[in-house]
Structure 1
Amino acid sequence: MGRRPCQRYCEVEGGQVSSTATLPSVRGKLKADAPLAPLVWFKSGGNAELLFEPADRDDLVEYLKGLDPDMPVMALGLGSNMIVRDGGVPGVTVRLGKAFSKIERLDETTLKCGGGASGILVSSTARDAGIAGLEFLRGIPGTVGGFVRMNGGAYGREVQDILVSCTVVLHDGTVEEWPAEQLGYTYRHSELPEGAVVVEAVFRGMAGDPLIIGQEMDRIAQAREESQPLRSRTGGSTFKNPPGHKAWALVDAAGCRGLKIGDAQVSEKHCNFLLNLGNASSADIEELGEEVRRRVQAKTNISLEWEIQRIGVA
């Protein structure tokens, strides 16, 4: 993909070094032209111009402070709800690692969670602490940073139901704490600005019995296993549920169950999921999604909106 100027190259993995005269070093990992396909569930797509895995929050802050303001910044979690286009992703892709996965109990019903912690880890920690109300996070295949930004939800609950506040690092390196109401949550959307990275979130539930909490988590896990193609290369729920409708039912009614373009297929098990059967390009997957949208529009006069993020250069 085409290069964009970067004010902040430093020594990168693979031995190549760009001009570093004006560039402070990072303590984490910074890699140029880094493959993203292995990091996303679809296992397709191009490379990141720069992939940065900061050592900690200070490392991230210092790096962003020195970055060209015109350089795009995007946070990457588990890559579960994302199509990385085949031309790759310009700018800096920030991936939060183990340093951002810590969870701390603040009181009887409140957890402070790092932006890199998974939904499974958060819900399991809440269970062990006897905190109910966070069980639905067991059904979200992503990290705190991602589902806070997108108001992720499952099984009748959303992040806005449990979020107290989040800590974000803005594109210019400024660190801010946002109370939940500042995020302006709507369905699968927040008002967080482009380039902001969620590094921490505080969630509050209610006192509960760990045994009952665990049973509810098991129920959610079983329901996902029975209804969703979890063993496949997929991106999770593809389209948002329109008001008063289920996206999967609209896709099914439009005759799209099992529809294929190349190695991309609408799942026969849950037709709001798209699959990479092996060698699908991201262009194939996105084209299939657009064909589904076209057929649903023609059949029902309802326009499906993408829930999956589509990023990068086609």
Structure 2
Amino acid sequence: MEQHVPERRPQHETGPYLEPLRLAIRRALAPLPWWLSEFILFGLKQAWACLFAAIMLGLILLTKLAWQPEWPLHRYDFLFLSALVIQVLFLRLKMESLDEAKVILVYHLTGTVMEIFKVQMGSWAYPEPSIIQIAGVPLFSGFMYASVGSFMARTIRVFDMRFTRYPPMWQTYLLALAIYINFFSHHYLPDIRYVLFAMTVIVFRRVNIHFTTDRTTLHMPLVAAAFFSSIFLWLAENIGTITGTWIYPTQKAWHVVSFGKLGSWYLLLFVSFVLVTLVVKPRPPAELEQTPDR
């Protein structure tokens, strides 16, 4: 990851209800050296971008500790209703745009379809009862996929992400479709995930993400960003299994989720990213907007 010369960029919109908080944070960080201020802001913005996912993981942990079997509402159904409320609040407070909500809905649907198939194939299971479910899949699970799409869309906006040497869109669509199909087809045909790993590098090898915290613009390869993000998703999946929210057939007693799932998340991240680009089009850096580098 390389650093550019510090420069002032316009602060990105965070919603009218959060403007006082944003200004207070900037005033508090003003006395610090610029590099420390930027580092803290980077962490705060990352936390802000993954707010939906963090709330969902927090609810999974809290409900596991507090929920009682005799309560009139099932835990899974409570998680689904909570996710709906969170989504409505995000839109009402302008923490998420309507366009972002649309792509998150698409990801929710595609994720739920895959969940239904995988559960039917015995890849994993949801051991607790629920009413709001389809074929044994509680519908809150689609929001776990949607939270990944939410994180990506919000990160692009919060960090004013720009992309250099972005490949033709049709290539990214075909790659995402091939990855998604392989999640189904490998149960019947040879698993081509290693070919798909290579294709992600081939298609996106030249793409750099340029992101701005406050005064500094950094950039890093998109493929590297996907790999590091997949590690955090793998850790989140361990939270899901250690709470028994979903379990794998090999987990008669809990153990760390297979590192092979890290590869699955890496591939799924490219499906997520391409879905987000259906609404949030990848833009080149400001100085290249008139003549984008393809």
Indicate the TM-score class for this superposition, using the shorter chain for normalisation: under 0.3
Structure number with higher relative contact order (C-alpha < 8 Å, ≥ 6 residues apart): 2
Higher strand share: 1
Per residue, is there more helix in 1 or in 2? 2
| Normalised TM-score (structure 1) | 0.25
Instruction: Output the TM-score relative to the length of structure 2.
Output: 0.26
